[in-house]
Structure 1
Amino acid sequence: MNIDRIVMAFAGFVIMLSLLLSQIYHPYWLFLTAFVGLNLFQAAFTGLCPLAMILKKIGSKSGAAFS
């Protein structure tokens, strides 16, 4: 799996997890959903993604978006 797919899968997982936690524990977990969404939005324009940088350093294959 390349970096692009890992980033999308991780973002989707964190969003679903935070939605679940907001229903079980407290609505403040929705701030995590907002953070992930904003990070994805800024990465679309700047190409800077902290997770992509970490994955590149550990040797994951580059994709089209984060090369």
Structure 2
Amino acid sequence: MSTDRFFILFAGIVVLVSVLLTWLASPWWLLLAVFMGIHLIQASFTGFCPLVMILKSMGLKPGEIFP
């Protein structure tokens, strides 16, 4: 699995967990989904993502989006 695919998987899981926690616990959990959306926009413009840096140091192969 490349860093790009893991990043997309992680973002999807965070959004789904945020929606589930909003439904079960509190509407404030929507802020987690908002944060992830902002991070995705920022990463698309700058190419910077701390998660990808961690994944690269763990040995995952780089992808095309985050070389």
Alignment of 1:1-67 (within 5 A): 1-67=1-67
Q: Which runs of 5+ in 1 are unaligned?
A: none
Query: Structure 2: how far apart are the matches of 1:53 and 1:15?
Result: 21
Supply the RMSD in Å over aligned alpha carbons: 0.5
Query: Structure 1: how far apart are the matches of 2:53 and 2:15?
Result: 20
Task: Indicate the percent of aligned positions where both proteins have the same amino acid.
Answer: 49
TM-score, with normalisation over the residues of structure 2? Answer: 0.97
Query: Structure 2: how far apart are the matches of 1:52 and 1:27?
Result: 29
Runs of 4+ in 1 over 3 A off after TM superposition: none
SS of 1:59's partner is coil
- Count of equivalent residues: 67
Query: Structure 2: how far apart are the matches of 1:37 and 1:54?
Result: 20
Query: Structure 1: how far apart are the matches of 2:50 and 2:39?
Result: 9
TM-score, with normalisation over the residues of structure 1? Answer: 0.97
